A and B are shown apart, each in its own frame.
Chain A
Amino acid sequence: MTTAAPGAVGPLASPRPALEVTDLDVYYGRGRGRRQALSGVSLSVAPGETVGLIGETGSGKSTLARTVLGLVRAGAGSVRVAGEDVTGHGGRRWRALRRRGVVQYVFQDPLRSLDPDLTIEDSLTEPLLIQGTGRAEASARARALLDRVRLSEDLLERLPGELSGGQRQRVAVARALITGPELIILDEPVSALDSANRVQILEILKELRAGGVALLLISHDLGSVAGTADRVAVLYRGELVETGTARQVVGDPQHPYTRLLVGSAPTLRGASADRAEREALRALLHT
């Protein structure tokens, strides 16, 4: 069902990354109004790897996701998805790629990725039916995936509006999985959820990693990503300022912005950096 080879596929064992972004520049607008949103961004995600992309509002994290999905054009550099260079792809080739379901996307608000008028079963099976899979097989896969995201089959006949936010987000994850993607981009997947549902989604994401799917987990909040991601990349004002394992980035941040980010994340021990330290870092970043 998934494209993963039998047995665990570790990052080192993989022949090619599921996502490879190289020296990416992205601009919005043209002429005098042209603004650079991303500058020289290089990032790769291996099969079975989870990379957390952290950045604040306006840092360019959503622009990066949109460029990978072919919704925004690269100004320079390249984007390879599942080994295929998609940088110069036009609409037709992108539509073909999306139909194959090689890369999937999960939004913060599942109501945006689920059609409110389709039952859960129809939402889940639609990508497969478009690919030409028979209804019975599509339906069987939908059931199997609901089980994987720990939802009952009873929900198949319901509409998204009849589900809780946490249930809807799990359906959105199941829908992203149904085409057996190599890469799933999740943009703030747990930000709108309460504690119990966050834990459940994060558990499911951990299991997916074992299945060989590459995950790009985008968030403004280091706290909701640090425990899940193998590697963390910090985006600040359109540039990747730091990349490393979660342990390196959180435990020993190098760039002043990363230090401020880590020092700002509320933890159960109180703030990890004291106020004076944060104040000094802010002053440093604003000069």
Chain B
Amino acid sequence: MTTLSPNAAPERSPRTAPGPTDTPEDPPVLAVHDVRISDGVTDREIVHGVSFTLTPGKAVGIVGESGSGKTLTCRAVLGILPPHFEVTAGSVEITGTDITTLTPAQWTALRGTTISAVFQDPASYLNPSVKVGAQIAEVLRVKKGLKRREARHRAVALLRAVHLRDPELVYGQYPYELSGGMLQRVLIAAAVAAEPRALIADEATTALDVTVQAEILDLLAELREESGLALVVVSHDLAVVAQLCDEVLVMRQGEVVEHGPTHAVLHDPRHAYTRLLVAEHEQYGPDKFLDPEEAS
């Protein structure tokens, strides 16, 4: 691994292996090493060093409020930083390739097939005047080289896999005909169409009702179990991340204030901000009414 940063990240302690998929021999799908991001206009550093490693089938969560730098970190990983933001130090490697070496054509080849993403507002990532099925089929034709008929067939199968109740019907519907939860399923179907190895879900359930949020989180957990899809789950809600992830990073004002295995962060939070997040749930959330026996 080529290190661009002068000093190795202080806390990259190895995590306890969460499952059989996380064997040490697996090369990381994504290795983020001390990434720093600056705003080129004001010349201010916005993200002050983020490091994490995503091995196949693993789920890493990033928690923080708006402005904490969690979305910028994701966008840096995907090579889609907004204009005049740039990675000023550190490195991002996707399946061992440093992304700074990628040409635009290589990026295009990588996105969707190796790393993919879904965001908060699914409607804005779909063309409003094209039927949703055709938009998934397009991904399959471009990324997988499928013929028209095969692509259609596979798109319907994907819509079924994300548990849309009537996939044939949904295939022929326009985005405005679907609810927010259904649109997010369509987006997830499109994102996993080319069988990526990692999916970044950035506030993907934030705008949804709680029961629909649970449906989407269940779907992500299922994709992870069944296809070994690695996840980066970004949320302002610690509990959302706790539900899906083995490892959590807590970000505040561009800084990673806490990083560790989920159970350690939840049960023994070190930083005052993490303690606040945990306390909020314990005091005001439904947690205190639930049977403690249920805790594993």
Residue contact A265 to B210, C-beta cutoff 8 Å: yes
Whether A264 contacts B211 in the complex (CB less than 8 A), given A196-B276, A270-B296, A275-B218, comes out as yes
* CB 8 Å contact bits of B265-296 with A (1 = contact, 0 = none): 01000000000111111111111111100111
A235 at the interface (CB under 8 A from B): no
Partner of B289, one of A198, A220, A226, A278: A226
Interface residues on A, range: 35 or more
Residue contact A268 to B211, C-beta cutoff 8 Å: no
Chain B residues 164-218 with CB under 8 Å of chain A are: 165, 209-215, 217-218
Query: Which of B94-102, B117-125, B233-241 lines the interface with chain A?
Result: B233-241
Whether A263 contacts B286 in the complex (CB less than 8 A), given A195-B280, A220-B209, A269-B296, comes out as no
Bound form: Cα–Cα A227–B221 in Å: 28
Counting chain A CB atoms within 10 Å of each CB, which of B210, B215, B278 scores highest?
B210
B227 at the interface (CB under 8 A from A): no
Chain A residues 199-236 with CB under 8 Å of chain B are: 199, 202, 220-224, 226-228
Chain B proximity of A108: nearest CB distance (Å): 13
Residue contact A260 to B211, C-beta cutoff 8 Å: yes
CB-CB under 8 A from A267, the residues of chain B are 239, 242, 281, 285-287, 290
Chain B proximity of A21: nearest CB distance (Å): 23
B150 at the interface (CB under 8 A from A): no
Residue contact A262 to B286, C-beta cutoff 8 Å: yes
Residue contact A227 to B66, C-beta cutoff 8 Å: no
Residue contact B290 to A268, C-beta cutoff 8 Å: no
Bound form: Cα–Cα A268–B217 in Å: 15
Residue contact A269 to B287, C-beta cutoff 8 Å: yes
CB-CB under 8 A from A222, the residues of chain B are 210, 286
CB-CB under 8 A from B239, the residues of chain A are 223, 265-268
A84 at the interface (CB under 8 A from B): no
A194 at the interface (CB under 8 A from B): yes
Bound form: Cα–Cα A223–B287 in Å: 8
Query: Which of A65-73, A167-175, A243-251 lines the interface with chain B?
Result: A243-251
Bound form: Cα–Cα A206–B36 in Å: 41
Residue contact A251 to B284, C-beta cutoff 8 Å: no
Residue contact A57 to B242, C-beta cutoff 8 Å: no
Q: Which residue of A lies closest to B242 (CB)?
A: A268
Counting chain A CB atoms within 10 Å of each CB, which of B281, B283, B284 scores highest?
B284
Residue contact A269 to B289, C-beta cutoff 8 Å: no
Residue contact A268 to B287, C-beta cutoff 8 Å: yes
CB-CB under 8 A from A227, the residues of chain B are 283-286, 288
A282 at the interface (CB under 8 A from B): yes
* CB 8 Å contact bits of A49-77 with B (1 = contact, 0 = none): 00000001100000000000000000000
Partner of A266, one of B65, B242, B276, B296: B242
Chain A proximity of B197: nearest CB distance (Å): 23
Counting chain B CB atoms within 10 Å of each CB, which of A224, A260, A266, A278 scores highest?
A266
Q: Which residue of B lies closest to A272 (CB)?
A: B290
CB-CB under 8 A from B280, the residues of chain A are 195, 198-199
CB-CB under 8 A from A269, the residues of chain B are 242, 287, 290, 294-296
Partner of A270, one of B213, B243, B277, B279: B243
Q: Which residue of A lies closest to B222 (CB)?
A: A275
Chain B residues 60-78 with CB under 8 Å of chain A are: 65-66
Partner of B243, one of A226, A228, A266: A266
Chain B proximity of A198: nearest CB distance (Å): 6
Chain A residues 113-155 with CB under 8 Å of chain B are: none
Partner of A198, one of B215, B238, B284: B284
CB-CB under 8 A from B287, the residues of chain A are 267-269
Chain A proximity of B291: nearest CB distance (Å): 7
Q: Which residue of A lies closest to B278 (CB)?
A: A268
Residue contact B209 to A57, C-beta cutoff 8 Å: yes
Bound form: Cα–Cα A261–B214 in Å: 9
Residue contact A268 to B210, C-beta cutoff 8 Å: no
Closest 10 pairs between A and B when the two form their complex, measured CB to CB: A264-B214, A227-B284, A266-B239, A250-B289, A194-B65, A56-B209, A226-B286, A269-B295, A251-B289, A264-B211
Given contacts A57-B209, A251-B290, list 18 more A-B pairs with CB under 8 A.
A56-B210, A194-B65, A194-B236, A195-B65, A195-B236, A195-B280, A196-B276, A199-B276, A227-B286, A250-B289, A264-B214, A266-B213, A266-B214, A266-B243, A267-B239, A268-B278, A270-B296, A272-B286
